[in-house]
Amino acid sequence: MMGKGKAILPFLLTGDYIQVEDVVKNDTTRMVFRIILPYILFAGLWIFLSDRLLEALRLNSAAHLQWSIFKGLAFVFITALLLLFLLRAERKIRTQAQAALSESEERFRLIRDNLPGSYVYQLTHDTEGVPRFLYLSAGVERVHGLKAEDVLRNADLLRSQTDPEQAPAVKAAEAASLRDMTDFTMEIRLRNADGQWRWIHVWSHPYKTSDGRVIWDGVATDITERKEAEAAILAALQRLTDIIEFLPDATFVIDQDKRVVAWNRACEVMTSVSKDKVLGLGDYAYAEPFFGERRPILIDLLDLPEPQLETIYKHVQRKGDKIYAESFIPRLNKGRGAHLWGVAAPLFDKAGFRCGAIEVIRDVTEQHLTGQALRESERKYRELVELANSIILRFNSEGIATFMNEFGLRFFGYSAEEILGRPLIGSIVPLTDSNGHDLSHLMKQIYADPEAFEQNVNENLLRNGDRVLISWANKVVRNEQGEVAEILSIGTDVTERKRAEDKIRQLNRELQRYTEELERRVAERTAELVVAKERAEAADRLKSAFLAW
């Protein structure tokens, strides 16, 4: 990958560079220290010490000359041996370094050629401005379906694969990189030699050589799978957005940075804030339409419990990773306020990592008002039941008492704990009445055929053993399936009335008897008077006949 002059070698995937000129300078420096410097030191020491030795010997001129010649020959021989030794050592070092460099180059070549879905390249422009590749790793064939040697001969084979709609943008980015000497980074769509559309991410770094050329060292990576995954995510997000948009409950979604990514139509209606005013905003912008200020709300409790925040919600409840709450928001409904019920839950990607959160909000104001009205109605009903001067009783299919009002409890002499949950037969209903009639199956008969017992009078039993007559009005209570769930019975004590009626009936019977006796006597007297009358008339006729005779 080395170019001429000031070419650079990209250190794969790190963005660091090794200058060739720096390598040369370093080699020269090492040569100075390993060869020249030792040679100079040895030569200097030899000359200095040998001269000092000759002076110390105090030789005559002829001897001094002869020893000087010997010293010179020895110097040449020894320094030659030293230089030979240093050169052989340097050659060995260089051979080892070259072997290490070749091994390193081979490793880098294998790495470059076998990068998964990637290749590295070196690009320049010729004198006429035509792009030309100086180097391409073998991975170009896996990505583009083109052989590296073919593209090295003709760069247009590769560049022509670029999507025509994107080609102008690619040229503009290349021109900007050349003009400003900035990194070229771009995602490019292309159709490879097999006719398949692919996406690659291209990054390259420009630099100028000593002869003024600009060279880009770069890496291209196939990101088709990532782009397809992103497209699938976007499609899924769009489907989710469409679903959220048409949910009847107000719903919004935030990402991990707490930016609003979805704000449905129901949210717009509830808050009177359109989605274009909140989408993409962070810093608790989703709270402002509800509370009038940016502040943590229910969805933020997913990250960290905040006791002060929880105090503004009623019935805060956590179930698994979800949190439920209810609150009254005064500023909604044009200042009339609204009772809101909400649930917040985290969102996770396919890998199980947290990617955001969702909150669903339901306006339960109507249900709240209905509940208040129901509770008020129940209160009035309870007061009516408790204050009524009648026995109000409910029992199930087994004849077990499930409710009795205060008046009924006082009337029969029981507490609620003593009567509720117990069978009525044997407690307030005797097994037999005073006339010996069997009442043990009365409750089941009423439950089986309530219409036949809509109005019923039977004997009941007080706790003290007294027997009373109760007039019962029985009404069926049905469940949601239309089945008989309970019998509601309202009873009135008719014991005294029955006794009065029995007394009246007895008096009527006695009066009837006296009337019949009087009528008999009157009839007898009348008959006697008729006989007397007939006798008197007969006497009158005899008298008249006698006188006439």
- CB-based contact 407:386 (threshold 8 Å): yes
The reported pLDDT for the residue numbered 108 is 62
Other beta carbons less than 10 A from residue 377's beta carbon: 10
The reported pLDDT for the residue numbered 4 is 35
| 121: region left, alpha or beta (phi > 0 left; psi from -120 to 50 alpha) | beta
The reported pLDDT for the residue numbered 549 is 61
CA distance 378 to 381: 5
The reported pLDDT for the residue numbered 3 is 36
| Range in 54-68, 155-169, 231-245 the model is least confident about | 54-68
Percent of the chain with pLDDT over 90: 31
The model's confidence at residue 144, banded by pLDDT at 50, 70 and 90, is very high
CA distance 327 to 313: 5
CA distance 253 to 263: 7
Amino acid identity, residue 313? Y
The reported pLDDT for the residue numbered 200 is 94
CA distance 311 to 533: 111
Percent of the chain with pLDDT over 70: 87
On the question of pLDDT at 22 being above 60, the answer is no
Q: pTM score, two decimals?
A: 0.44
| Average predicted confidence (pLDDT) for the chain | 82
On the question of pLDDT at 19 being above 70, the answer is no
Across the range 89-118, mean pLDDT stands at 72
CA distance 199 to 223: 5
Across the range 114-136, mean pLDDT stands at 86
Give the pair of three-digit tokens for residue 163: 């999507």
The model's confidence at residue 198, banded by pLDDT at 50, 70 and 90, is very high
On the question of pLDDT at 156 being above 80, the answer is yes
User: Highest mean pLDDT: which of 19-33, 214-228, 493-507, 510-524?
Assistant: 214-228
| Range in 52-66, 261-275, 277-291 the model is least confident about | 52-66
- CB-based contact 391:408 (threshold 8 Å): yes
- CB-based contact 9:2 (threshold 8 Å): yes
More confident residue, 126 or 539: 126
pLDDT tens per residue, range 485-501: 888 899 989 888 888 88
On the question of pLDDT at 17 being above 50, the answer is no
On the question of pLDDT at 9 being above 60, the answer is no
DSSP code for 183: -
The model's confidence at residue 331, banded by pLDDT at 50, 70 and 90, is confident
The reported pLDDT for the residue numbered 207 is 93
On the question of pLDDT at 2 being above 70, the answer is no
The continuous run of DSSP H or E covering 501 comes out as: helix 495-548
Across the range 70-80, mean pLDDT stands at 77
Whether the CA torsion 215, 216, 217, 222 is positive or negative: it is negative
The model's confidence at residue 277, banded by pLDDT at 50, 70 and 90, is very high
pLDDT tens per residue, range 39-52: 778 777 877 777 77
Across the range 522-547, mean pLDDT stands at 78
The model's confidence at residue 11, banded by pLDDT at 50, 70 and 90, is very low
Across the range 82-86, mean pLDDT stands at 78
Q: Strand 354-363 and strand 250-255: pairing? A: antiparallel
Q: Strand 16-19 and strand 455-461: pairing? A: unpaired
On the question of pLDDT at 456 being above 60, the answer is yes
The model's confidence at residue 528, banded by pLDDT at 50, 70 and 90, is confident
More confident residue, 236 or 358: 358
The model's confidence at residue 458, banded by pLDDT at 50, 70 and 90, is confident
**321 closest CA partner among 348, 285, 351, 283:** 348
Give the pair of three-digit tokens for residue 96: 């080892």
More confident residue, 547 or 375: 375
The continuous run of DSSP H or E covering 308 comes out as: helix 307-310
The reported pLDDT for the residue numbered 386 is 65
Q: By CB neighbour count within 10 A (0-12 exposed, 13-18 middle, 19+ buried), where does 48 fall?
A: exposed
pLDDT tens per residue, range 358-389: 999 999 888 878 877 777 777 766 666 666 67
The reported pLDDT for the residue numbered 5 is 33
The model's confidence at residue 440, banded by pLDDT at 50, 70 and 90, is confident
The reported pLDDT for the residue numbered 180 is 94
